[in-house]
Amino acid sequence: MTESHPRRAMPAPKAKGGRRLLVIILALVLIAGGGGVAYYLGFLDRFLPGSITGPDQGDPTPTDLPDQWPLTGVIGEVSSRPALAAKITNDPDLRPSDGLHEADIVFEYLNGSGTTEFLAIYHSNLPIQLAPIHTLSSIDGALAGWTSGLIAFSTGLPDFVQQTRSSGLQLLANNQGNDGFTEVTGWSSPQIAGDPKVLVSRADPNHQGLPPAFCAVDNRNDGSTAQNKGTMANNVMVIFGPDATPMWQWEAAFGKWLRFEGEAPALRYGGGQLSAVNVITIEVEVRDTGLTGPDGQPYKAAIVTGQGRGLVASGQMVAEITWIKESATAPWQFLDSTGEPLVLVPGSTWIELVPRGAGEWVVY
């Protein structure tokens, strides 16, 4: 990732014609004499840049922060492109996934096989390739519909496709002949890959806008919610079930939480370890949707509307939070223990959706 720097405030432009106006008024001052001097100096003070009669105020101080990427809060030159959500598998036989580490936001949730899968959202970074692209799930629209962007997936059941479309996202499916998908090798079997730049270029006129801000961030060095109101922690273990127990371990050298699959480092495609600046873990209810899954069995899914308890980890500190989502298309809201909006450290965020009653998280 290219390091971004705040833009310096440009000096205020000088008023046009100021010198000519000054000459005219000085001439009037000489003609008027006496009390007219004070009058015309007051005129100068009102209409010319700077202060004539008062003390020097110096250069104006900008009050607004430089542009920042809406999903991460990282300061930089923001591109006017939409957000792209992509379904990425977490099948143990198909790890590591390509491009996952460059996502701004990653949702992880339990699937019917007892493992987890990812919905990754990209905006500030568009990797060269996303793979393996996975099938659509029933909750993907509710997770990412608030971005009003696009979602890329391999295929999906008709009911899931309709639910996702109703969330306001533009659907890009490999099995519908959309540009930007290709079959690739490099795993135990051929997989579907997506080209993010091509996929984003397919945005229709209704899906070309910037996503809204995900969460407040600390760009003034005042401290995040966890840093100001939390307690120190080195590890956060997330227990989805017996076959899915990812862990996050604080690494001060990088200022990030490193991800593990059980006790093994979760690797990035091409080398390195998956990491996140912020990790949010929330408790969600899992219900029978009334739909039938690909295996013909009743399909259960997390319910991501309503509210529940959670935990945020930022900067080696953790704090209890509450999550709120009023509808499938509403933005995510996160509140601290006093009801104040959550403040994150600028950077990537992973969100773990832990089944209520069947899963938990352990901090140590």
Q: Are 203 and 221 within one domain?
A: no
Same domain, 36 and 112: no
pTM over cut 0.75: yes
**Strands 298-303, 170-173: parallel, antiparallel or unpaired by DSSP?**
unpaired
Of 13-22, 201-210, 237-246, 337-346, the one with minimum mean pLDDT is: 13-22
Same domain for 331 and 310: yes
**How many C-beta atoms lie closer than 10 Å to residue 151's C-beta?**
29
Gap between the Cα atoms of 102 and 325, Å rounded: 26
Tens digit of each residue's pLDDT (9 = 90 or more) over 65-87? 459 999 999 999 999 999 999 99
Are 131 and 161 members of one domain?
A: yes
pLDDT band for position 95 (cuts 50, 70, 90)? very high
Question: Would residue 297 count as lying in a domain?
Answer: yes
Tell me the C-alpha distance between 277 and 264, whole Å.
20
Domain residue limits at 31: 18-47
- Six-digit token pair at 66? 């430089």
Percent of the chain with pLDDT over 90: 76
Residue 1 lies in a domain: no
Residues 223 and 358 both lie in one domain = yes
Q: Are both 256 and 147 inside the same structural domain? A: no
Asked if 310 contacts 322 with a C-beta cutoff of 8 angstroms, the reply is yes
For 14-48, what is each residue's pLDDT tens digit?
334 443 433 333 343 333 444 443 333 333 333 33
Residue 299 confidence (pLDDT): 80
Give the Cα separation of 313 and 147 in Å (integer): 23
> 194 and 221: one domain?
no
Number of domains in the chain: 3
Q: Are residues 202 and 237 in the same domain?
A: no
- Residue 255 domain-assigned (yes or no): yes
Asked whether residue 53 is assigned to any structural domain, the reply reads no
Query: Of the candidates 157, 177, 207, which is a domain's last residue?
Result: 207
Q: Is residue 267 part of a domain?
A: yes
